[in-house]
Structure 1
C-alpha cells in the first residue's frame, strides 16, 4: 500500500511546479479556515474587484485613464446598489413581511386539508399517525422559529460590522482596481519561481469564471424579470418577491429551481386553490424554467464552465456543507478550480510518464 501511494505521489508531484501548486492550495485552504472571518471584507472586495475589472479594462483600451475609469465604474456600481436598495428592497421587504404575517393562516389551511385525507382515503392513511407526524412537524417549526428570532437579535449587534463593510469594501475595491498591476506584481514576488502550473490554473480559471459570472448575471436578470412580469400579469400575490427568488435560484443549478418551486406553488395554491388559475400559473412557470434550462443556459454558457450536472450537485452539497451560504454561492467556481487543478496535475503526470518512458528507451 505504501509503495502504491509513493508511486502515485512521485507521478503527480515529482515536478517542482506541481508541488508548488499543492502547497499553495493547502496554504490557501488553511488561511480561509483559520482567518476566514477576519479576512471576509478583503475576500468580498477581491471578488467584487474581479467582477468590475472587465469594464475598467474596456475603458482603459478606449484610452480612458485607469484612475478615471476605476472611479466611473465604482461610482456606477455603488449607484446601482443604492438604487436597488431604495427601489427594489422596500418592495421585497414589504411583500416578505406580508407573507410572513399570512404564513400562520396558510399553515392552518394546510393542516385542515391534510387532516381531511384520512376521511378521503380511510384504508390508506392512518389518522393517528398523521396527527402525530403533524404535531412533530409543528414542534420543529416552532423550535426553528425561536432559533431565527434569536439569530435576528444577535445579528443586530453586527450592524457596526455591516457599516464597516459599506465603507471599507468600496475603498478596497477602488484601490484594487486602480493599482491592479502594482498589487499583482507584489503578490508575484511572494510566490515561488516554480509557478508554471499556478499560472496555467489561473489562466483557465480566469477564462471560465469570467464567462460564467457574466452569463449568470444576464441569466438572473432575464429569468427574474420574466418571472416577475408573468406573475404580475397573472395577478399572483407577492409577484416581485417570488420573481426575485426565482431569478436568484439560478445561482444554484437544479437544486435552486426545485427549492423555489415550493413557495411559488404554496402561494398560488393558497390564493386560488386547485383551480384553473393555479394550473395556468404553474404551466407558465414551467415554461419559463424549461426555456431557461434548454435555450438560455446553452446560449449563455456555451463557452463557460463545462461541468457535468452530477459534479455541480456534488459541489453544491460539499462546499455548502463546509462554508454554508457562501459555499453554495461559490460552488461552481470552486468546482471549476478543482477541475483546473486536476487537469494541470494530469497533464504534468503525462509529461512525467513520457519523460520516464523516453529515459528507459534511451
Structure 2
C-alpha cells in the first residue's frame, strides 16, 4: 500500500511546475477563506475592474491613454449605477415594507384556502397537520420578529463606516486597477514562485472564461430582471419591482435560484387573484421567461464560459457557496472551471504511471 501511494505521488507530483501550481492555489484559497470579509472591497473592485477592462481597451484603441479611458468609463458606469439606484431602491424599499405589512393578511388567506382543501380532501391534509402548520407559520412570519430583523439588517447595512469604505475605496481601487493594470500585474509577480509556467498556462486558459462569465452573468441579471418586471407590471402583479429584482438576482444561483424565487411569485399571485385565469397566465409567462433564459439566453452568453455538467455546477454552488457565501455562489462556475482546467493541465509522469499500472 505504501509503495503504491509512493508511486502515485511520484507520478502526480514529480513535476516542479505542478508543485508550484498547487502552492499558488492553496495560498490563494486560504487567503480568500480567512480574509474574504476584510478583502471584500478589494474583491468587489477586482470584479468591477475585470468587467470594465473591455471598454477601457476600446478607449485606448481610439487613441486615448489608459488614464483618460479609465476615467471616462468609470464616470459613465458609476453615474449610470447612481441613477439606477436612485430610481430603483426607493420603489423596492416601499414594496418590501408593503409586503411585510401584508404578510399577516396573506397568511390568513392562505390558511383559509388550506382549510377548504382539508375539508374537501382530508386524506391528503388532516386538521391536526393544518394546526401544526399554522403554528409554525405564525412563529416564522411573526410581524414583530420580521420588523426586528429588518431593523437589525438596516442598521448593519446603513453603518456609516461601511458605506464610506465601499463608496470611496471601491471606485478608487477600480480606477487604479484599470489605470495601472500592467504595473500591478508585473509587481504582483514577485510574490509568486519563478517556476510558474504551468500556472500561467492555466490562467491564460481561464482569464477569457472568467471575463465572459462575469460579463454574461451581469447581462443575464439585467435582461431577466427587466423582462420579468415588465411582464409583472403589465399583468398588474403587486410588488412587481421587488419580484423583478428577485427574479434577476435568482440567476446568480444556477438551477436552484429559479426554483426558490418561483415560490414568492406564485404566493403573491395566488393571494392577489386566487385560482383564476390571471394566476395561470402569470405562471405560464414566468415559465416561458425561465425557459427562454435556460435554453436561449444562457447558451448565447455562456457558450465559451461554461462547459460543465449540471451536476458539477450544482455541486460547485453548494461547496463554494458554503465556503465563501455569496461570493462563492457567484464564482461557483468559474471556480469549477478552474478545477477542471487544473486537472486537464496537471502533468503526469508517463513512465511512473506505466510502472504503477503494471505493478
Q: TM-score scaled by structure 2?
A: 0.92
3-state DSSP of counterpart to 2:159: helix
Answer yes or no: is the 8 Å Cα contact 2:103–2:141 preserved in 1.
no
Match of 2:139 in 1: 139
Match of 2:260 in 1: 259
Structure 2 matches for 1:240-279, cutoff 5 A?
Answer: 240-279=241-280
Distance 2:98 2:289 in 1: 26
Deviates more, 1:137-146 or 1:234-243: 137-146
Answer yes or no: is the 8 Å Cα contact 1:45–1:170 preserved in 2.
yes
For residue 350 of structure 2, the aligned residue among 348, 353, 357 is 353
Match of 1:310 in 2: 311
Structure 2 matches for 1:31-110, cutoff 5 A?
Answer: 31-110=31-110
Answer yes or no: is the 8 Å Cα contact 2:53–2:178 preserved in 1.
yes
Match of 1:300 in 2: 301
Match of 1:291 in 2: 292
Answer yes or no: is the 8 Å Cα contact 1:231–1:239 preserved in 2.
yes
Question: Structure 1 residues 93, 250: CA separation in 2 closer, same or farther (over 3 Å shift)?
Answer: same
Match of 2:186 in 1: 185
3-state DSSP of counterpart to 1:250: helix
Answer yes or no: is the 8 Å Cα contact 1:312–1:335 preserved in 2.
yes
Question: Structure 1 residues 141, 272: CA separation in 2 closer, same or farther (over 3 Å shift)?
Answer: closer
Distance 1:29 1:118 in 2: 52
Distance 1:282 1:144 in 2: 31
Deviation at 1:154, TM superposition (A): 5.4
Answer yes or no: is the 8 Å Cα contact 2:11–2:353 preserved in 1.
no
Aligned residues: 354
Per-residue CA deviations over 1:287-307 (Å, capped at 9, x if unaligned) read: 111111112222222222211
3-state DSSP of counterpart to 2:30: helix
Q: TM-score scaled by structure 1?
A: 0.91
Does 1:114 pair with 2:114? yes
3-state DSSP of counterpart to 2:59: helix
Deviates more, 1:129-138 or 1:264-273: 129-138
Give runs of ≥4 in structure 1 deviating > 6 Å: 355-358
Deviation at 1:149, TM superposition (A): 4.3
Answer yes or no: is the 8 Å Cα contact 1:223–1:292 preserved in 2.
yes
Match of 2:21 in 1: 21
Distance 1:51 1:176 in 2: 11
Deviation at 1:130, TM superposition (A): 2.5
Question: Structure 1 residues 149, 288: CA separation in 2 closer, same or farther (over 3 Å shift)?
Answer: closer
Does 1:335 pair with 2:336? yes
3-state DSSP of counterpart to 2:252: coil
Answer yes or no: is the 8 Å Cα contact 2:33–2:324 preserved in 1.
no
3-state DSSP of counterpart to 1:29: helix
Distance 2:188 2:22 in 1: 18
Question: Structure 1 residues 95, 309: CA separation in 2 closer, same or farther (over 3 Å shift)?
Answer: same
Answer yes or no: is the 8 Å Cα contact 2:11–2:352 preserved in 1.
no
